[in-house]
Homo-oligomer: A and B are copies of this chain.
């Protein structure tokens, strides 16, 4: 844990971060799936491009577990490029010269939207584990409230990968009239046992850290950064693929010619993972990690529709583009095919593309030319049907 030894706390005051901040649930509370009613809660969001006069060019981007609303450009906290900078910007696949891109930090997140690290008004202390357990459905309902706030009746498209893809499915299933096109990427209609298992070891890693303090680490001036780093390292392996790890690192040693016969990071892959762990804890909240992984584990569109996934999409007017990647073993093509089969079963308008890539689950974050080509093609076709001005291909 050498790299992460230094005490690091994620920036706690996120209200001053750039972008939109809105307080929702003032008139009408958000009723969470767990039964709790949420009032007067903050959602932070970021927009790119310009909303057109008839508010028909909005694309909602749904971020993944460790993402946030800073999709493009330089991230205000990390100083690095946004997580989808390759995709979002002027002239890019999600062309901000034509579309109005909106991304909101998800419920339970730690970048300005209400989550376990924010202050519980009832106690004046951080929520910690008193924060209600949220679901993907709750996340999407909060996003719909943001759209209501902005006066956007129907979005042109909803797009996202991984947990973002789950949100896209939830959007299409719960608000079909408010979505013209839906692009779920590298995701599944329910979380598999293996994925629940990987999340569980991540959570146990955090909860095993004495500095977690039963979730009350903020009040006690602690930070379970060691546990969170290990959780991130484990998860990071699942985001890549064996061939990519072999290609990038193989058994190459880190700044040495021979092994040291010790427990230092002899191999490049060890050094890389330690770096992933230590940089992650600088920007992410451990309790948020617990809550968001829990929401993913609970996600099951099939169970929600009494075991018939197709019923989630019966009579849907939404156009779908489902994308998977050959080397993604977290949300493999078979899971995406299940979604496509369900959509086919209700005669929905659906395109499906499996992109050949050895970059694993992370492919959806990378500059994969075929992936971008598929998205661009689908968006141009959908924009034409929606009557949006033509985007040059």
Q: Which residues of A contact B (CB under 8 A)?
A: 1, 33-35, 129, 132-133, 190-194, 196-198, 200-201, 203-205, 207-210, 226-227, 229-230, 233-234, 237, 240, 242, 245-246, 248-251, 259, 261-263, 265-267, 269-270, 273-274, 277, 290, 294, 297-298, 300, 303, 329
**Which one of B196, B234, B246, B270 lies within 8 Å of A270 (CB-CB)?**
B196
CB of A245 within 8 A of CB of B208, answer no
Residues on B with beta carbons closer than 8 Å to the beta carbon of A248? 193
- Contact A194 to B230, CB < 8 A, known contacts A207-B263, A277-B204: no
CB of B242 within 8 A of CB of A230, answer no
CB of A251 within 8 A of CB of B200, answer no
Q: How many copies does the complex hold?
A: 2
Q: 10 interchain pairs (CB within 8 A)? A: A1-B204, A1-B207, A35-B261, A129-B263, A200-B233, A200-B265, A200-B267, A205-B205, A251-B300, A267-B297
CB of B193 within 8 A of CB of A251, answer yes
- Contact A242 to B208, CB < 8 A, known contacts A261-B133, A294-B263: no
**A-B CB proximity, top 9 nearest:** A208-B226, A34-B261, A133-B261, A193-B245, A200-B270, A201-B233, A194-B242, A193-B269, A201-B234
Q: Closest residue to A238 on the B side, CB-wise?
A: B237
A250 to B307, CA, bound (A): 14
A249 to B197, CA, bound (A): 10
